[in-house]
C-alpha cells in the first residue's frame, strides 16, 4: 500500500508543520482548553482531548444504563476497539474474528445493536452486523455503550442498545505509534486541533496472525482513515461540519474454512461520511448526514470437473450504498416537566450488490444480487422528565413509518410504535431504578431481498419477514461513595418474530421469523478504591435465551467474571485483567459449544518525559486455547501477544 504510506506521510508533515501556526492562533485567542473542555486563559493543555457527548439523547445514568470507555482505554499499542469494549460487563465479542469483528450487548448482536459515529447512524450490508472498524480507534475520543430498549431514542434496531462513537475534539498536536507481535501489526496516527477544529489521520497494517496452536489466521489488512471537523458561526447560528474518510485493502476473512474449503478476501472497502449540524439560540439542533460506502467481496473455492480436473472458482460481489440522515430536535420545559421532541429521517439509496463468477479468470456470468435497494425510515419522538423529592420519572414514545423496496420487488410499508418508562428512586447513598420499554427492528434489505454470495456462503433473502418487536424490564441498584461503587442490573426481554439465520443446505443460508423468544440475564460491577493509587474492579454477566420451542437463541454469550487491578503512580501505571469465561453447552444455529477459559492481559505505561509516553502489554497472558465467540466458523484466539506503543501529546 505504498500510495497510502506516501499520502499518510504527506498529511502528517502538513499537520506538524502547521502546529506553530495553530499555537499562534490559540495564543491570539488567549485561551486553552482544560480537561473539561472549558477555556482556561494562559495555561497549557495537559490532556489529550476533551470528550463531548452532545449526541446523546437520553439522560445519562437515569433513563438508560450507559458506560463510557475513554481514549486511555482505547489507545493501547494496537488500539483494538472491539477488544477494549468487550471488557465492559454488558459487552461480548460476536461472530468471526478479524477487522470486521462485531459486538454483542446483553445477548443481542448483529442488526439489533445500533452504531453511531458522532450521531451519524451506521449501516452495513454484512449479515454479521455493523462494524465501525473502518475508522481507526486512535482517532476516537471514546465510545458510549448504551444498554436497554433504546428504540425510542435511537430508532429501529436499538433492541439491545447502541454504541455511540465520538471523534477526538479540542486535541492539541498528538502522535501515536504502536506494534503488536501477532501478524506484525503496526500503526501510525497523528492529529491536532483547538476549540474551532480538529483533524486526525491513521495508518494501520497487519499480516496474517497465528492461533494459539500455530495455525494461520487469515486476518491481514491495510487501512488508512482520517477526519476533519470544523466549528464556526454564521450570524446567530453555530455550524459543526465533519468529514470522515476511510480506505482499506486486502482484508482477510478469518474463518475455519480457510484455506482448504474456501478463501474469502475483501480486496477493497471505502467509506466517505459528512455531517453538518446547525444550531441557534435555544436548544434546537438540525443534523444532515451522508454516508457513501462500497465493499468488494471475493470468494475462492476449489471445484473438480470431469474435463478440467481441479479448478478455482471465484465469485466477486460488489456492494455499494448511500445513506442519508436528517434530524430536527428541540428541548422543552413546562414548569417542573422537561424533555425533548423531534423528527428523525434515515434513508438508504442505491443499495446494490453485483456478483461476477469466474473459472480460471474466465467470466462465467454476472447477476444482480440486490438491485437499487431503497429504505425510508421516518419517525416522530418525544420524551418527558420530572424530578420529585422522592423519585425521578422519565418516559417517552416514538412512532416510525418504514418503507423498503428494490427494482425487482413491490414496495413494503410498515409502521411501529415504541415507548419506555423509567422510575429512579434514591435510598440514601443507594439508587433503585425500574425501567420498562419496547423496541422494534425492521428486517434489513439483505435479510429480505439479497440473493447471492457472502463471506459465509450463499444467502437467499426472505421477502416475508416481519419486524421484530421486543419488550424489556430492567431492575437496577447502584451505590457510590469515595471508596466503593456498586452496580447490579437484572433484565428480562421478550422478543416476538425474532429473525434467525437458518441453513437450507450445506452451502446456503436464509432467514425466518421465530414465533417468539426470551432473554434473561444480569450484570454487575463492583469497584474498590483503597487509595488514590490502587483500584480493584470486579464485573461479570450472564445471559440465557430460548425460543418458544425451547431452542437456544443465536448470539447468547458465555457467562463470565472479571477482575481488573490497577496501580497508578505519578509517572507510571500498571493494569492487570483476569477474566474467567465459563463454558457454554447450549448454542444456537450456526454455532458451537464453548469450553471454559482463563484469559489474562497485562499493560504497563510510563512517562518518558512531559510529552512522551511508552506503553507495553501482553495479551492472552496465559497462552490459553479458546474461541472468542461461539460462531461455528470462528478460529481459535491468538496465542500470547506482545505489544508496544509510544504516544506524544
DSSP for 361-388, written as a single string: TEEEEEEEEEEEEEEEEEEEEEEEEEE-
Q: How far apart are CA 71 and CA 142, in angstroms?
A: 5
* Least reliable range by pLDDT among 185-194, 331-340, 496-505, 530-539: 496-505
- Residues 584, 630 contacting (CB under 8 angstroms): yes
Phi and psi, residue 184, nearest 5°? 50, 45
CATH for 406: 2.40.170.20
Q: Would you place residue 87 in the very low, low, confident or very high pLDDT band (cuts 50, 70, 90)? A: confident
Q: Which residue in the block uniquely carries the three cell numbers 440486490?
A: 370
Summarize pLDDT for 17-39 with one digit per residue, the tens.
333 333 333 333 333 233 333 33
Summarize pLDDT for 189-240 with one digit per residue, the tens.
999 999 899 999 999 999 999 999 999 999 999 999 999 999 999 999 999 9
DSSP 3-state percent helix, strand, coil across the chain (nearest 5): 10, 60, 30
* Least reliable range by pLDDT among 146-150, 187-191, 518-522: 146-150
Report the pLDDT value the prediction gives residue 507, as an integer from 0 to 100: 74
Average pLDDT, whole number, for the chain? 86
Q: Would you place residue 5 in the very low, low, confident or very high pLDDT band (cuts 50, 70, 90)? A: very low
What DSSP element (H or E) covers 449?
Answer: helix 445-449
- Please tell me the pTM assigned to this model: 0.87
Number of structural domains, the chain? Answer: 1
* Least reliable range by pLDDT among 99-103, 345-349, 629-633: 99-103
Summarize pLDDT for 589-627 with one digit per residue, the tens.
789 999 999 999 999 999 999 999 999 999 999 999 999
- In 3D space, the residue among 122, 102, 113 whose CA is nearest the CA of residue 159 turns out to be 113
Residue 261, sorted as left (phi over 0), alpha (psi -120 to 50) or beta, turns out to be: alpha
Give the residue numbers spanning the domain of 118: 2-648
Please name the residues in contact with 72: beta carbons below 8 A apart, sequence gap of 6 or more: none
Question: Which grid coordinates are listed for 510?
Answer: 436464509
Amino acid at each position: 500500500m505504498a500510495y497510502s504510506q506516501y499520502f499518510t506521510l504527506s498529511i502528517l508533515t502538513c499537520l506538524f508543520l502547521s502546529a506553530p501556526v495553530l499555537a499562534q492562533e490559540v495564543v491570539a485567542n488567549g485561551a486553552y482548553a482544560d480537561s473539561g473542555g472549558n477555556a482556561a486563559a494562559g495555561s497549557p493543555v495537559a490532556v489529550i482531548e476533551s470528550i463531548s457527548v452532545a449526541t446523546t439523547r437520553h439522560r445519562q445514568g437515569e433513563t438508560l444504563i450507559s458506560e463510557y470507555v475513554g481514549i486511555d482505554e482505547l489507545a493501547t499499542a494496537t488500539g483494538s476497539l472491539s477488544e477494549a469494549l468487550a471488557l465492559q460487563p454488558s459487552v461480548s465479542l460476536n461472530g468471526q474474528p478479524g477487522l470486521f469483528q462485531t459486538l454483542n450487548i446483553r445477548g443481542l448482536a448483529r442488526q439489533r445493536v445500533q452504531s453511531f459515529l458522532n450521531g451519524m447512524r451506521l449501516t452495513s450490508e454484512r449479515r454479521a452486523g455493523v462494524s465501525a472498524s473502518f475508522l481507526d480507534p486512535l482517532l476516537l475520543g471514546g465510545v458510549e455503550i448504551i444498554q436497554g430498549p433504546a428504540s425510542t431514542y435511537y430508532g429501529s434496531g436499538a433492541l439491545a442498545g447502541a454504541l455511540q462513537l465520538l471523534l477526538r475534539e479540542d486535541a492539541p498536536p498528538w502522535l501515536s505509534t504502536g506494534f503488536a507481535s501477532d501478524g506484525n501489526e503496526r500503526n501510525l496516527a497523528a492529529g491536532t486541533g483547538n476549540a474551532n477544529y480538529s483533524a486526525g489521520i491513521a495508518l494501520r497494517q497487519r499480516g496474517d496472525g497465528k492461533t494459539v496452536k500455530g495455525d494461520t489466521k487469515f486476518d491481514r489488512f491495510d487501512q488508512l482513515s482520517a477526519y476533519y471537523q470544523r466549528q464556526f458561526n454564521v450570524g446567530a447560528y453555530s455550524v459543526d461540519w465533519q468529514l470522515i474518510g476511510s480506505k482499506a485493502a486486502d482484508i482477510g476473512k478469518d474463518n475455519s474454512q480457510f484455506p482448504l474449503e474456501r478463501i474469502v478476501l475483501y480486496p477493497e472497502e471505502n467509506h466517505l461520511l459528512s455531517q453538518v449540524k446547525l444550531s441557534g439560540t435555544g436548544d434546537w439542533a438540525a443534523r444532515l448526514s451522508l454516508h457513501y460506502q462500497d465493499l468488494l467481496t471475493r470468494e475462492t473455492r476449489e471445484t473438480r470437473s470431469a474435463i478440467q480436473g481441479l479448478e478455482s472458482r471465484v465469485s466477486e460481489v460488489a456492494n455499494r450504498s448511500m445513506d442519508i440522515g436528517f434530524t430536527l430536535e428541540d428541548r422543552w420545559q413546562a414548569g417542573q416537566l422537561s424533555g425533548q421532541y423531534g423528527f428523525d429521517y434515515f434513508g438508504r439509496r442505491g443499495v446494490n450488490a453485483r456478483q461476477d463468477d469466474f473459472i480460471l479468470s474466465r467470466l462465467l456470468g454476472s447477476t444482480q444480487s440486490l438491485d437499487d435497494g431503497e429504505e425510508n425510515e421516518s419517525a416522530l419522538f418525544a420524551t418527558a422528565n420530572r424530578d420529585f423529592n422522592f423519585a425521578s420519572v422519565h418516559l417517552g414514545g416514538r412512532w416510525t413509518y418504514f418503507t423498503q423496496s428494490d427494482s425487482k420487488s413491490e414496495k413494503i410499508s410498515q409502521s411501529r410504535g415504541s415507548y419506555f418508562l423509567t422510575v429512579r428512586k434514591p435510598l440514601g447513598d443507594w439508587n433503585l431504578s425500574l425501567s420498562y420499554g419496547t423496541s422494534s427492528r425492521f428486517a434489513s434489505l439483505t435479510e429480505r431481498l439479497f440473493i447471492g454470495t457472502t463471506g459465509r456462503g450463499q444467502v437467499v433473502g426472505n421477502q416475508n419477514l416481519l419486524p421484530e418487536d421486543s419488550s424489556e424490564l430492567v431492575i437496577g441498584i447502584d451505590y457510590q461513595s469515595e471508596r466503593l461503587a456498586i452496580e447490579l442490573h437484572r433484565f428480562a426481554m421478550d422478543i416476538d418474530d425474532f429473525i434467525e439465520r437458518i441453513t437450507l443446505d450445506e452451502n446456503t443460508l436464509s432467514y425466518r421469523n421465530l414465533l417468539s423468544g426470551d432473554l434473561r440475564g444480569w450484570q454487575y460491577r463492583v469497584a474498590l478504591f483503597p487509595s488514590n493509587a490502587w483500584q480493584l474492579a470486579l464485573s461479570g454477566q450472564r445471559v440465557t435465551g430460548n425460543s418458544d420451542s425451547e431452542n437456544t437463541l443465536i448470539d447468547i454469550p458465555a457467562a463470565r467474571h472479571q477482575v481488573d487491578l490497577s496501580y497508578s503512580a505519578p509517572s507510571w501505571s500498571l493494569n492487570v485483567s483476569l477474566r474467567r469465561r465459563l463454558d457454554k453447552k447450549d448454542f444456537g444455529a450456526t454455532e458451537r459449544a464453548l469450553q471454559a477459559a482463563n484469559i489474562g492481559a497485562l499493560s504497563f505505561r510510563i512517562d518518558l518525559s512531559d510529552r512522551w509516553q511508552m506503553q507495553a502489554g501482553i495479551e492472552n497472558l496465559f497462552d490459553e486455547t479458546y474461541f472468542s465467540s461461539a460462531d461455528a466458523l470462528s478460529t481459535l484466539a491468538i496465542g500470547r501477544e506482545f505489544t508496544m506503543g509510544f504516544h506524544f501529546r
